[in-house]
Amino acid sequence: MSAEYVIADPVVAGVAARAAITTPGVVRLEPGLRGLVTAWTRAARQRWKGLDPAPADGVRVRTTDGRVRVEIDLVTAAADQAAAVGRAVQRAVGRSVTEQTGLVVDEVSVSILDIEPAPR
């Protein structure tokens, strides 16, 4: 008898969000319009089930046929090169999701929605 385990997309999104926000150069995760709708729906579904929603604004996860795709919307600091921060987020998210869930991430897509100016 074998047991099958399913790791829900909101769990993967929470892991990905923590990995992204702790990457140097990331100021915050920014859900954008599509992300706001997704986050609201996910939070409502989790509250309906009596669960506290995982903080995953700005992160969307799609699992299809065992393939995991993560999309992240974020804001970077002006002091850092946006492309380098994006690549670092891709590596951190892929590594964290695999380490913490055992799932192999097929793709991490990072959208940089804004670059926050340095404080004066």
- What confidence tens digit (pLDDT) does each residue in 35-89 have? 555 555 656 665 666 665 556 788 999 988 878 999 999 999 998 899 999 999 9
Domains of the chain: 9-116 (3.30.70.1350)
Q: Is pTM, for the whole model, over 0.95?
A: no
Higher pLDDT, 51 or 98: 98
The one-letter code for the residue type at 33 is L
Mean pLDDT of the chain: 84
Residues 114, 44, 97, 116: what is their CA dihedral angle, to the nearest 10 degrees? Answer: 10
Contacts of 80 (CB under 8 A, 6+ apart): 24, 25
CA atoms of 54 and 39, how far apart (whole Å): 10
